[in-house]
């Protein structure tokens, strides 16, 4: 099984780093003329996957918007993931799972096990209880050729006081919580060059303010929400991430989806062109 890093690198080469989020907000369903129920979400998700195929190399479904419809929502995720795989898209399941070891192991098995109904290429995770508690999902991901992105510096203002707090003791004494996550995840990458494990760093934060040095991000996959509707622009990508822009996954959701399914391909191609200028 090829590593997630190798497949991500191939995607960067072919399509660049633009990733389309699939977030069926109620207002987007209304904009698309769809009902705010499982039927509407299914139509939205499948049309979005079709529109993304061939125009970007990655999608990031926000699982919460599917979970609100219970088992029907999970069935839609299963169908959407299968359609995306058949179209050659990498699927990053935005699930933000985190717990003690045995429980988080089960989360990893659900989202990363080959053949699982919810199999994705990568998942997002939360390390509030420590990155080491995610060891089971990391081991599974490594053996199955999957990826994991751990939240480090997120775009919501209320997280700043926690993520910039300094660690009082231990291996990362004096470092910020965000920087300690970056360093722990970096240590888990055994590949030379681009790794399979990365971090989430929002596009609306100043990386230096979170105690993260730009040199620490080289070869570390960065999942970067916050572009478009949240305020950051793709033209700022290099300014925000420096040389790490070449390994940054620029996620766009509402700003693209609100234009309607027919406009998505052109919007994505335009964003790819803008990001290409930043990576050069």
Active site residue 96: yes
Q: Say if strands 222-224 and 147-153 run parallel, antiparallel, or are unpaired.
A: unpaired
Q: Which positions ≥6 away from 208 have C-beta within 8 Å?
A: 214
Q: Say if strands 222-224 and 122-125 run parallel, antiparallel, or are unpaired.
A: unpaired
Which DSSP string do the residues of 210-224 spell out, in sequence order?
A: GT--GGGGTTS-EEE
Does residue 65 sit in helix, strand or coil?
helix
Alpha-carbon distance of 33 to 262, in angstroms, equals: 13
Closest C-alpha to 111, from 69, 65, 60, 183: 60
- Vertex 218, ends 214 and 220: CA angle to 5°? 110
Alpha-carbon distance of 152 to 210, in angstroms, equals: 9
In the chain, the DSSP E strands lie at: 18-22, 58-61, 90-97, 122-125, 147-153, 197-201, 222-224, 248-252
The two counts, helices (H) then strands (E), for the chain are 12, 8
- 60, 96, 146, 213: which one is catalytic? 96
Rounded to the nearest 5 percent, the helix, strand and coil shares of the chain are 50, 15, 30
Active site residues: 96
């Amino acid at each position: 099984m090829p590593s997630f890093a190798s497949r991500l690198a191939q995607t960067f080469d072919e399509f660049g780093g633009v990733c389309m989020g699939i977030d069926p907000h109620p207002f987007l369903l209304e904009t698309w003329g769809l009902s705010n129920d499982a039927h509407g979400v299914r139509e939205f998700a499948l049309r979005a996957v079709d529109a993304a195929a061939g125009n970007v190399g990655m999608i990031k479904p926000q699982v919460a918007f599917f979970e609100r419809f219970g088992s029907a929502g999970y069935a839609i995720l299963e169908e959407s993931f299968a359609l995306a795989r058949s179209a050659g898209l990498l699927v990053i399941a935005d699930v933000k799972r985190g717990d003690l070891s045995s429980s988080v192991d089960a989360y990893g098995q659900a989202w990363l096990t080959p053949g699982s109904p919810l199999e994705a290429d990568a998942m997002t995770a939360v390390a509030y209880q420590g990155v080491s508690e995610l060891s089971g999902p990391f081991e599974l991901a490594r053996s199955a050729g999957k990826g994991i992105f751990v939240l480090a510096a997120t775009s919501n203002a209320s997280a700043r006081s926690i993520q910039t707090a300094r660690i009082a003791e231990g291996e990362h004494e004096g470092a910020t919580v965000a920087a300690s996550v970056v360093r722990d995840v970096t240590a888990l990458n055994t590949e030379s060059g681009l790794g399979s494990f990365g971090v989430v760093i929002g596009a609306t934060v100043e990386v230096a303010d979170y105690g993260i040095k730009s040199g620490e991000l080289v070869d570390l996959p960065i999942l970067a929400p916050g572009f478009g509707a949240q305020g950051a622009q793709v033209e700022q990508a290099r300014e925000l991430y420096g040389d790490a822009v070449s390994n940054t996954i620029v996620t766009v959701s509402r700003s693209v989806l609100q234009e309607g399914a027919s406009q998505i391909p052109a919007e994505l191609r335009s964003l790819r062109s803008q990001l290409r200028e930043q990576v050069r």
